[in-house]
Structure 1
Amino acid sequence: MPTPEEQLIVLAHRIPAAVTPVGDWLAEVADRVVLITSEEAAPGYAGMFRDVLPVSDYSGSDEVVDHLDRLCADHSVARIIHGTEDDILRIARVRDRHGIPGLSEADALVFRDKYAMKAAAQAGVATPAFLAPADGAQAAEFARLAGWPLVVKPRLGYGSRGVAVVEDTAGLTSQLRDRDPADVLLEAFVPGTVHHVDGFMRDGEVLLAVASRYINSCLSFADGESLGSVQLDEHDLLTKRLVAFAEQVVAVLPSTAFSPFHLEVFVQDDTDALVFCEIAARLGGGHIYETLAHSIGADPVELWFRDQAGLSHTGPVASRTPGSYGFLLVPPRQGTLVEIGDLPLPDGVLQHSLPTTLPKAFDAATASTDTVASSLVHGADAGSVESALRRCALWSAAALRWSS
């Protein structure tokens, strides 16, 4: 029987080393780590671990699972580490097949399947009316009861891909015609602003939570508008309400080991009530990772990966660093970016990302995280960060020059 020091730790992770320096984070056990990653990211991890297995189509093929099953069959595997949404369910299934501790498929499904998560969440908090329709007749009856508009989305989607708001029967019929019937969720539309709460949970309790408000919405990319987010001030009454709401949600969902969470919440326009939207057992997309890291004074991915590897960590700090952080994602247009004007960036910008080679052709955005430019901003409070983000949006409109 292999000793714990001889057992493999398998890491399935497609993000490049320049973004997540996992070799440094797992240095103590690097000789036991086998990394499965994308062909694009693999060269950056060369020489860091016991083995690096590149995969040609990381998210869209069975290669990752094939590697995992083979490693579990041929070796003693102690742990499998995951970090991104496309890995959560498939790695949970591998854990179940081979008796490896960690998030199970049944529990992972509640954090991935939007029908399952709403069915669980409604035991503790308000949720929109929702239905996974068996056929068009059920969908039509739901629309009659819930009223228009309706939200149509894939049950297992992420990044707002495939989410549509329909206004009438014709729009609903059209949306249902083009979708997998087994992967459709209907929801009553909730008019209001969308907020998100990000932090860490363990054993059904919230360990740390940072509340933020989206600027525009996660569907803004469809209209060519930027998506932004600003962290609310700690003393804000809404911050306290959102954190308490997160605690209620986490308490009624499956208990997890130490894990990040990303919760989205509607604040209704007419009543100011909080209504559940979605939750994931991972870090949020866009630059939520970076804003959370600045806010807590620690790298949240490093904390999570070390815990999954069975290594100690100091844990997230109990309080936030001073000020507020936010980000802006500018979606690409359908066309060619031909020039970037030499204009000064607004005050407060900590990081700014732009294409390095021009001209460059782009397709229109298909997800909330598709970007041509992005900014990470810091300010004394939420108001100053929001002002800076709006100036960043104006900067992008003036500096990015396109041809059709």
Structure 2
Amino acid sequence: MKILVINRWKLATTTYLKWLGPGHEVVLLSSADGVSADPDKARAELVGYTDAVVLPDFHGNPLVEQKALELHATYGFEAVVATSEFDLLRAARLRAAMGVAGQTVESAEAFRDKLRMKQTLAAAGVPVAPFAAVPDATALHSFAAEQGYPIVVKPRRGGGSMGVEVLRDPAELADYAARHPELGGDDGAPLLAERFIEHELFHVDGLVAHGKLVFTSVSACGSCLSYRDGVGMTSAMLDPDDPLTEPLRELTLRTVEALPTPESFVFHAEAFLTPQGDLLLNEIASRVGGGKIYEACKLAYGVDTVAACVHAEGGGFPPPEAVESPDRLAGFVIFPGRAGTLDEAPTSCPVDGVDQYRLIAEIGSDLGVAAHSSAHIASAVVHGASHRDVRRVLDDVVRWFDESTVITPRPEPV
């Protein structure tokens, strides 16, 4: 099969050729950020591809699609593989233009456009918070007047909690509007408003390969906005017999059934548990969850979700065997940066139950506030026999990391 791979991940660890298997002609169209800056390493990373084109400024660059169509004229692709959330729509557009199977534009839009997603889910009876498009300042004020404060405003096609803001009173709304001049234009701001819901947050992750559900994993996690305060975000899988596991799984599967889905895809859903005991679907994406969800699912279920999905998208059979329950439970913590200099940080973790610990930032580096919810300077993936065990290990890791790390704030300008 002739396959186009659209990539923005580090090729040193993203092994498309291995995942797709032998017998394919694979052409790589990659972000320059995904290729090593060292020429020798870069050459090694590109070995085995039938052709490889590397482009700078990958995000939003129209030359990506133009180059893909030029390559198609040469190779005649039969499949297009893209694993980043920010490449799903461009890959879907290319499939339509090339006449190849895979996730359609309709499907990608339903997962990427939060307004379309919420409209589809609400129409199907999936419980969601009250929402509305807010293309202008009048619509934003009207929504706040109708729903009351606080409200949440977010980009319709955002990701990683970037651009998400909670507005708690008219003054914060006025400040938000002043910082978003697109609310005053005639083209319409691509924004969505929702009623703020007091909640506990959960995420449900899974894999569908060739129409077959391989597994679902249900976890409790901290706030996706904690990174803005430099606070680590934790996630711990629920016990299979936890009273919330099956209801959260059923809510997610109802969500998947309500949306137009491809034959093979990974999904990451977020759900709220309200103080009244109600479950609401927050969002769902057709990609691997952020943080260390990929690693935690692989540790617990023995399934490499990205490898299996890429293999299936490339026509690979058979799909992985269904996994009803995990071998063990897993969780993770990611530690975001905060403004200052990283003076001290541990390079290894002595806490029992930790399977993987990584310090990404270099000692002495100048840190800033994390740019999105998955950005971090260090992380740990842990395991345990139960949710309580995983939570205990995570608490120990957080305490140990906080005690072992020194970030010196920048001096205030005189």
Query: Which residue number corresponds to residue 162 of structure 1?
Result: 163
Instruction: Note if contact 2:229-2:338 (Cα within 8 Å) is conserved in structure 1.
Output: no
Is residue 5 of structure 2 the alignment partner of residue 11 of structure 1?
A: yes
Runs of 4+ residues deviating >4 angstroms: 202-207, 341-344
Aligned counterpart for 2:220 among listed residues 213, 216, 223? 213
Distance 1:285 1:297 in 2: 18
Is residue 389 of structure 2 the alignment partner of residue 384 of structure 1?
A: yes
Query: Which residue number corresponds to residue 403 of structure 1?
Result: 408
Query: Which residue number corresponds to residue 375 of structure 1?
Result: 380
Instruction: Note if contact 1:365-1:371 (Cα within 8 Å) is conserved in structure 2.
Output: yes
Distance 1:45 1:240 in 2: 42
Is residue 62 of structure 2 the alignment partner of residue 101 of structure 1?
A: no
Instruction: Note if contact 1:45-1:52 (Cα within 8 Å) is conserved in structure 2.
Output: no
Tell me how far 1:313 sits from its aligned partner: 3.6
Instruction: Note if contact 2:209-2:309 (Cα within 8 Å) is conserved in structure 1.
Output: no
Q: Which moved more, 1:102-111 or 1:134-143?
A: 134-143
Q: Map Cα deviations across residues 289-344 of structure 1 (whole Å, 9 max, x no partner).
A: 11111222121111100111111144253223322100101010111102225885
Is residue 66 of structure 2 the alignment partner of residue 66 of structure 1?
A: yes
Tell me how far 1:106 sits from its aligned partner: 1.7
Counterpart secondary structure, 1:186: strand
Distance 1:205 1:27 in 2: 20
Query: Which residue number corresponds to residue 331 of structure 1?
Result: 336
Distance 2:156 2:319 in 1: 36
Distance 1:299 1:344 in 2: 24
Distance 2:153 2:377 in 1: 27
Q: Which moved more, 1:194-203 or 1:322-331?
A: 194-203
Describe how 1:192-203 pairs up with structure 2 within 5 A.
192-201=199-208
Tell me how far 1:346 sits from its aligned partner: 1.6
Unaligned runs of 5+ in 1: none
Tell me how far 1:193 sits from its aligned partner: 0.6
Counterpart secondary structure, 1:152: strand
Instruction: Note if contact 1:124-1:248 (Cα within 8 Å) is conserved in structure 2.
Output: no
Taking only aligned residues, the RMSD between alpha carbons, in angstroms, comes to 1.9
Is residue 139 of structure 2 the alignment partner of residue 134 of structure 1?
A: no
Letter in 1 for 2:55: V
Query: Which residue number corresponds to residue 249 of structure 1?
Result: 255
Instruction: Note if contact 1:261-1:279 (Cα within 8 Å) is conserved in structure 2.
Output: yes
Instruction: Note if contact 2:69-2:94 (Cα within 8 Å) is conserved in structure 1.
Output: yes
Is residue 205 of structure 2 the alignment partner of residue 224 of structure 1?
A: no
Query: Which residue number corresponds to residue 182 of structure 1?
Result: 189
Tell me how far 1:159 sits from its aligned partner: 0.4
Is residue 229 of structure 2 the alignment partner of residue 236 of structure 1?
A: no
Q: Map Cα deviations across residues 206-239 of structure 1 (whole Å, 9 max, x no partner).
A: 552111111x200001122111111111111200
Give aligned pairs, total: 395
Task: Describe the shift of the 1:79–1:273 C-alpha distance in structure 2 as closer, same or farther (beyond 3 A).
Answer: same
Tell me how far 1:141 sits from its aligned partner: 1.7
Tell me how far 1:17 sits from its aligned partner: 3.3
Unaligned runs of 5+ in 2: 36-41, 183-187, 410-414
Q: Give the alignment's TM-score, normalised by structure 2.
A: 0.91
Tell me how far 1:58 sits from its aligned partner: 2.2
Q: Which moved more, 1:14-23 or 1:72-81?
A: 14-23
Letter in 1 for 2:126: V
Query: Which residue number corresponds to residue 185 of structure 2?
Result: none
Distance 1:219 1:229 in 2: 14
Q: Give the alignment's TM-score, normalised by structure 1.
A: 0.93
Aligned counterpart for 1:310 among listed residues 303, 306, 315? 315
Letter in 2 for 1:89: L
Task: Describe the shift of the 1:73–1:400 C-alpha distance in structure 2 as closer, same or farther (beyond 3 A).
Answer: same
Tell me how far 1:26 sits from its aligned partner: 2.3
Distance 1:382 1:152 in 2: 33
Letter in 2 for 1:49: Y
Percent identity between matched residues is 32
Tell me how far 1:20 sits from its aligned partner: 2.4
Tell me how far 1:364 sits from its aligned partner: 0.8
Tell me how far 1:160 sits from its aligned partner: 0.4
Aligned counterpart for 1:349 among listed residues 348, 354, 369? 354
Letter in 2 for 1:235: D
Task: Describe the shift of the 1:316–1:374 C-alpha distance in structure 2 as closer, same or farther (beyond 3 A).
Answer: farther
Instruction: Note if contact 1:297-1:317 (Cα within 8 Å) is conserved in structure 2.
Output: no
Task: Describe the shift of the 1:352–1:197 C-alpha distance in structure 2 as closer, same or farther (beyond 3 A).
Answer: same
Instruction: Note if contact 1:208-1:316 (Cα within 8 Å) is conserved in structure 2.
Output: no
Instruction: Note if contact 1:115-1:132 (Cα within 8 Å) is conserved in structure 2.
Output: yes
Is residue 303 of structure 2 the alignment partner of residue 298 of structure 1?
A: yes
